[in-house]
Amino acid sequence: MFNIEKYIAAAEEKQLGTYAIIVKQGGETIASHFWRSDLRTNVHSLSKSILSCGIGIAIEEGLLSLSDKVADFFPEKYDSEPTEWQKQLTIENLLTMCSGHVKAYLMGNQRDELEDLDWVHYYLNLPMSCEPGTKFQYDTACSFIVSAIMQKITGMTLRDYLMPRIFLPLGIKNPQWFMSPDGISLGGGGLFLTCEEISRFAELLLNKGKVNGVQLVPEKYLEYATSKVVSNGNGGHNNRCGYGLQFWRCKKEGVYRADGAYGQLAIIFPEENMTVSITSHNEKNTEAIINTVLECANN
């Protein structure tokens, strides 16, 4: 069960900035509260988890594999012969945020300041600091390059590819997704959804990729993508409990989440057969939102 009254009180006392919360268990909404109308909002990096599901589908369709080398998709984008590390970079390295870079690119206002309007070219020519796969560095650019790969191999934007494969089966009509100057879905952010639409995605995850008995996302892929694939710290904080393929692990054993800036969340409790979906605007402490959810789920 979930103590919604406790969450409402904490949201106001701690000024969590929550817009909406929807709790589902066994496929039914068991609790919800709305501080404003459930309008579509930028879910920021929660978009990354939807991108990841698209990769799982593309693998099932035989379009790519996690071990595919990024350089093979964009040989024309390099200003000179790729380095050995650049040649080693794989799709899985990007999805796990282990790209060989030790700082983030294409984050928030960084995108507005870029002079190079070809973001794929810009990113692929950045010098690497370490071997891909060896160091976790959270970076929206990783997700963008994966989105660009999807567009290269499918001939359509990530958003259009996912329309019949995820969005429409979930009843999500005409979602808007920010694009790069040359027309590539951002992938790692910029998708607009309501809290209810987030909750449908959360249920897809809880049900191991199935909706109404139809397998949309391969179960084995999701099992791997939502597990702790790489270490990103020593625990104690929900951002240091392990990272999968664009999914975060939580402090509570078995719990994982899709997570966007300022408190856009789809938190999955497999053991409890429960999901908690939230939209918020909290610029200071989204960790407090997650911790409050975990506390309320224990009641």
Q: Tell me the CATH number at 254.
A: 3.40.710.10
Geometric angle at alpha carbon 124, from 119 and 127, rounded to 5°: 125
Per-residue pLDDT at 299 exceeds 90: no
pLDDT at 110: 87
Per-residue pLDDT at 204 exceeds 80: yes
CA-based diameter of the chain, in Å?
59
CA distance 18 to 12: 9
pLDDT at 89: 99
**Mean pLDDT, the chain, whole residue set:** 97
What is the mean pLDDT of the segment spanning 160-182?
Answer: 98
Closest CA to 17 of 193, 263, 260, 239: 263
Domain of residue 146 covers 4-297
What is the mean pLDDT of the segment spanning 171-175?
Answer: 98
Q: What is the DSSP string of 205-266?
A: HHTTTEETTEE-S-HHHHHHHTS--B--S-SSSTTSS-B-SS-EE-SSTT-EEEEETTTEEE
pLDDT at 39: 96
Contact 106, 99 (CB under 8 A): no
CA distance 181 to 170: 29
CA distance 294 to 299: 9
Geometric angle at alpha carbon 104, from 279 and 125, rounded to 5°: 135
The pLDDT tens digits for 23-53 are 999 999 999 999 999 999 999 999 999 999 9
| Interior/surface letters 68-83, b for 16+ CB within 10 angstroms, e for the rest | bebbebbeebeeeebe
Q: How many domains does the chain have?
A: 1
CA distance 203 to 206: 5
Contact 230, 92 (CB under 8 A): no
Residue percentage of the chain with pLDDT more than 90: 93
pLDDT at 298: 82
